[in-house]
């Protein structure tokens, strides 16, 4: 292999490296402060620095070899990922109702973090091989079929939050691969219905007066309780959509009939999956919905985390209260402050300037990943970067959003900032692959 530019300067994206280093420094300082009151402080710090060292080593290794090996060995990567996820269900450690960790003598790790990175690589290879084929519904279903076994195994742990994080990069990679917008919108609509139904049912269960006042809402609640057969509801949906089609014909709108058939299937499948999801929700997960929808209902219970995070961020002011000086974090008012709510600690102790710096560094990192995608010498590298950008953009929006009360608490960490060895190692590995794609943008054989 030859290089247009053999200099190290031309191979390394120093802007990406700088933004990642800045986030790691801020995150490490925030963890040192947030975890200081905890009884296992020394163990937390030790594990963090070990994970940081391992992550940096994997970053350098991923940067050093040709990223196309993942494309050539995608079937092997897929098989190893499936075996890894089966292993965690068999020999994994049960913690907080989830069998999501494999523990060894000196360390433990969460395979789903590594599986997410592997799935991006596997999907990139799959979509690259199908690059010349029509980007139809079959193209999209094939991609979901590739990811479905891994997602199903993670959901079996059960880890709903990790499973949810697969959808952004799935849709993002499909869009960037040239898939038609209509099937993508159909998939997005299905997902929106599935996720919104448990939210709506939770809200209606909090307001029984609504269901008593409106017959339709009462029927809606009966569907949830299976008082109205699901099959009858699906038939009703198809009849309703058929009447809609008849109405458009009567009004002389030229709407193709297949659109109405697809609409009926989306509504029916979304309803069925929404019912299943609603009955699979754990008590604490439903409490998170309650805290999001009606935060005043249980301010000392389910809504406590978000309320304290908002107080912490708001009390930070412009410059913050200082490292190790945040009252909400140091006195333990913010739960999970070194993991899920690390952004609240940054907002309190480093103020608006610190929080803004984190957002700017994150946006810079995402911008460089997108730029790397545009500069990639092949379609595989382009799709890998698209998947990574979608993944970390989703993490940023959800984690910061839940700290501010804009989205329900999802138990999703903020990569490079939150404490979590598996997430940190997997993130640095993924970013090392991105850096490798950038370094080989001018390479040719």
Please tell me the least confidently modeled range out of 85-89, 103-107, 367-371, 375-379. 103-107
Residues 163 and 67 reside in one and the same domain = yes
Q: What is the rounded CA–CA span in Å between residue 321 and residue 30?
A: 13
| Predicted local distance difference test score (pLDDT) of residue 346 | 93
Higher-confidence position of 152 and 445 = 152
Give 133 or 431, the one with higher predicted confidence.
Answer: 431
Per the prediction, the chain carries an average pLDDT of: 83
Portion of the chain with pLDDT greater than 70, in percent: 87
Residue range 202-212: mean pLDDT, rounded: 68
- Is the model's pLDDT at 57 over the cut of 70? yes
The total domain count for the chain is: 2
Q: Could you read off the pLDDT of 131-165 as tens digits, one per residue? A: 655 566 677 788 888 888 998 888 887 777 788 88
Cis peptide before 68 (omega within 30 of 0): no
Span 422-426, average pLDDT: 93
Task: Check residues 269 and 299 and name the one with the higher pLDDT.
Answer: 269
- Copy the structure tokens of residue 426: 């997997």
Alpha-carbon distance of 427 to 376, in angstroms, equals: 20
28 and 111 share one domain: yes
Answer positive or negative: Cα dihedral of 9, 12, 16, 20. Answer: negative
Whether 273 and 418 share a structural domain: no
Is 185 within a domain?
no
SS3 content of the chain, % helix, strand, coil (to 5): 70, 5, 25
Q: In this structure, is residue 31 part of a structural domain?
A: yes
Residue 129 and residue 96 share a domain: yes
Does residue 188 form part of some domain?
A: no
337 vs 93, 212, 231, 331, CA distance in Å?
Answer: 24, 41, 45, 11
> Which of residues 231, 250, 280 is at a domain's end?
280
Q: CA angle, 25 as apex, 21 and 27 as ends, to 5°?
A: 115
Q: Is residue 14 domain-shared with residue 128, that is, in the same domain? A: yes
Task: List the one residue out of 428, 426, 401, 431 whose CA is nearest residue 340.
Answer: 401
- Is the domain of 158 the same as that of 174? yes
Domain hosting 249: range is 198-280
Give residue-wise pLDDT tens across range 212-241.
566 556 666 677 777 667 777 788 888 888
Q: Where among 243, 263, 280 does a domain terminate?
A: 280
371 domain-assigned: yes
pLDDT in tens, 300-337: 666 777 888 888 888 888 898 988 888 888 877 887 78
């Amino acid at each position: 292999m030859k290089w247009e530019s053999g200099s190290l300067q031309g191979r390394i994206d120093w802007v990406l490296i700088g933004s990642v280093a800045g986030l790691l420094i801020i995150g490490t300082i925030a963890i040192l402060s947030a975890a200081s009151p905890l009884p296992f402080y020394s163990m937390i710090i030790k594990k963090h620095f070990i994970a940081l060292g391992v992550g940096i080593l994997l970053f350098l290794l991923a940067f050093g070899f040709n990223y196309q090996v993942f494309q050539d060995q995608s079937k092997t990567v897929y098989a190893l990922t499936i075996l890894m996820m089966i292993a965690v269900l068999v020999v994994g450690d049960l913690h907080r109702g989830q069998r999501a960790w494999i523990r060894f003598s000196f360390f433990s790790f969460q395979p789903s973090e590594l599986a997410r990175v592997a799935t991006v690589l596997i999907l990139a290879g799959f979509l690259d091989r199908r690059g010349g084929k029509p980007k139809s519904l079959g193209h999209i279903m094939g991609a979901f079929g590739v990811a479905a076994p891994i997602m199903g195994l993670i959901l079996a742990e059960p880890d709903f939050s990790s499973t949810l994080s697969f959808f952004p990069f799935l849709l993002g990679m499909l869009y960037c691969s040239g898939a038609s917008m209509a099937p993508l919108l159909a998939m997005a609509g299905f997902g929106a219905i599935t996720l919104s139904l448990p939210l709506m049912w939770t809200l209606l269960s909090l307001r029984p007066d609504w269901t008593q006042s409106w017959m339709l809402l009462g029927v809606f609640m009966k569907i949830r309780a299976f008082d109205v057969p699901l099959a009858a509801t699906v038939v009703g949906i198809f009849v309703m959509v058929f009447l809609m089609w008849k109405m458009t014909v009567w009004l002389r709108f030229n709407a193709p009939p297949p659109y109405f058939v697809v609409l009926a299937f989306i509504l029916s499948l979304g309803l069925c999956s929404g019912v299943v999801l609603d009955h699979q929700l754990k008590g604490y997960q439903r409490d998170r919905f309650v805290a999001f929808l009606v935060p005043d209902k249980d301010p000392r219970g389910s809504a406590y985390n978000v309320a304290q995070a908002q107080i912490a961020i708001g009390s930070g002011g412009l410059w913050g209260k200082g490292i190790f000086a945040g009252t909400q974090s140091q006195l333990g008012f913010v739960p999970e402050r070194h993991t899920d709510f690390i952004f609240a600690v940054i907002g309190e102790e480093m103020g608006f300037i610190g929080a803004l710096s984190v957002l700017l560094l994150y946006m810079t990192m995402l911008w460089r990943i997108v730029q790397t995608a545009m500069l990639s010498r092949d379609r595989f590298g382009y799709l890998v970067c698209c998947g990574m950008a979608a993944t970390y953009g989703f993490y940023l929006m959800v984690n910061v959003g839940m700290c501010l009360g804009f989205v329900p608490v999802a138990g999703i960490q903020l990569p490079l900032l939150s404490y979590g060895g598996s997430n940190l190692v997997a993130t640095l590995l993924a970013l090392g692959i991105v850096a490798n794609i950038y370094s080989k943008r001018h390479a040719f054989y």
